[in-house]
Amino acid sequence: MNRRKIRWKHGVSLLMAVALLFSAPAAVKAELHWPEGPQITSPSAIVIELNSGAVLYEKNADQVNYPASITKVLTTYLALEHSDLEEIVTFSDDAINLNQGDTSHIARDYGEQMTMKECLYAVMLESANECAYAVAEHVGVKMGGDYQTFIDMMNAKAKELGCTNTHFTNANGLPDENHYTSARDMALISMAAYKNEDFRIICGTRSYRIPPTNRHKEITPLNNHHNLISNYRTDEHLYEYATGGKTGYTKAAGSTLVSYAEKDGLTLVCVVMKEVGYGNFEATIELFDYCFQNFYKVEIDENGNAITSDGQEDTLGDSEGYPSFVKLEENAQIVLPIAADAKDVEVSLVESGLATDAVAQLKYTYGGHVAGCADVVLSNAEVEYDFFEEKESSEDVKVIEIKGKHILMIVGAIVLLAALIIGGKCLYDNYYVILHDMNVRRQRKDRFRPISNRKRKRRRRDRMFR
């Protein structure tokens, strides 16, 4: 596994080479049009496609505002991550005393016991503040601390999800000047929560009944106050493609809203903040309609090829024969304007701020807008050593082996080449010195040659007269 991790950049480079075959030139073309969004009255809003991460609309998305009860999206999400739905939650004195009166609640009593599941339905449907507090306290104690431990967990999770303008001081969203977030940060939190199946079920439920408890002999009915999916208060804002969400309101925060909708393969999360009255619902419907009418999804396979809406593969490069060290995450997709072509998308490599199981990330842009991101992860191919020689494994997966003898041959060749280069350089640097020495030796031989000749003649003559 470590060997494969060491070589991940090789595979990423191949994926990039494939992806760049369909990227547009660096300069943004004039015809690459991104649809203009509607003029909503909400001071701050954002819409993100959940599967791709593409921001389809934003208005003052980083502006800091009070969230009110949409805080409970994170409360519910964290509780689901750190507890079982059948755990028993006991309501403490603080849960009752600090969260009833002039706040939203379902009139729980001291020492009352409910399951975690029942508490979370009360939190998300009726926005019950005492239930949110009891849930936070229960999980905090379970984690070895108290209520504040859960608040610390909320802030840690927000930071983990990439939030930069968020700080929480409570689990229910009651007014506090140090309890704030932004539309973008709230969208990041809501996206993560929606990937939890239990959360999707709870936030999309129109009504629920809590059975009798140790303090209440009667059934407690719960109704969802989100007008896009429930007609409990009015049917004026029912939206066919809405799948869930959470409402919020305080005088300081105004009307806040988190909403989810799904259509034609797009899953949207919309956050509207600091609205007035029912303006949060009206703005959300307008934004959803804009996104569904102007954008479509493009699936990206593990090799970086685009899959068109009719199921045909739009070849972005031939990856056949490439080593399968890495691949794109499953179900990767981007979102483009209706009239856009996938071939006009640009691709760049991101190597920081990644998920723990990702070695890199490909970021797709169109006309200067981020159309989506896809994590590059290690593949399941078993890679053996061979010097870039392709072999078919038993699972028909192309792998690469590296042969030891090839490595030795290459190392030997490199050493020999280095020696030749060094020797040649020495010869070049000392050429005139060597030439001078050769001339000196030649002159010495020429000077002593007559003496040597006379000596040879004398020795020859002496031999004749002996």
Say which residues have a Cβ less than 8 Å from residue 432's Cβ, sequence separation at least 6. none
Q: Which residues contact 252 (CB under 8 A, 6 or more apart)?
A: 66, 175
127 included as an active-site residue: yes
Burial (0-12, 13-18, 19+ Cβ within 10 Å), 368 = exposed
For 177-305, strand residue ranges (E) read 181-182, 207-210, 220-223, 242-250, 254-263, 266-275, 295-300
Measured CA to CA in angstroms, residue 450 lies from 253, 439, 444, 463 at distances of: 116, 18, 11, 20
Q: Token digits for 101?
A: 């009166």
User: Which member of 42, 44, 52, 127 is catalytic?
Assistant: 127
Pick the closest to residue 252 from 179, 165, 186 (CA basis): 179
* 132 vs 268: CA distance, rounded Å: 26
User: Is residue 10 helix, strand or coil?
Assistant: helix
Query: Is residue 316 a contact partner of residue 306, using CB atoms and an 8 Å limit?
Result: yes
First to last CA, the chain: 93
- Three-state secondary-structure class, residue 264: coil
Cα-Cα-Cα-Cα dihedral of 145, 150, 151, 152, to 10°? Answer: 70
Task: Count CB neighbours of 360 within 10 A.
Answer: 21
Catalytic residue among 52, 59, 72, 297: 72
**C-alpha pair distances (Å), 352 with each of 234, 327, 358, 457:** 46, 18, 10, 90
Name the phi and psi angles at 65, rounded to 5.
Answer: -140, 165
Instruction: Determine the length of the chain.
Output: 466
In this structure, what token pair is assigned to residue 45? 């809003």
DSSP-assigned states of every residue in 236-254: TT--TTEEEEEEEEETTTE
| Exposure string over 428-462, b if 16+ CB within 10 A, otherwise e | eeeeeeeeeeeeeeeeeeeeeeeeeeeeeeeeeee
Q: What is the dihedral of CA 311, 316, 317, 322, to 10 degrees?
A: -70
Dihedral pair phi/psi, residue 38, rounded to 5°? -70, 160
Active site residues: 69, 72, 127
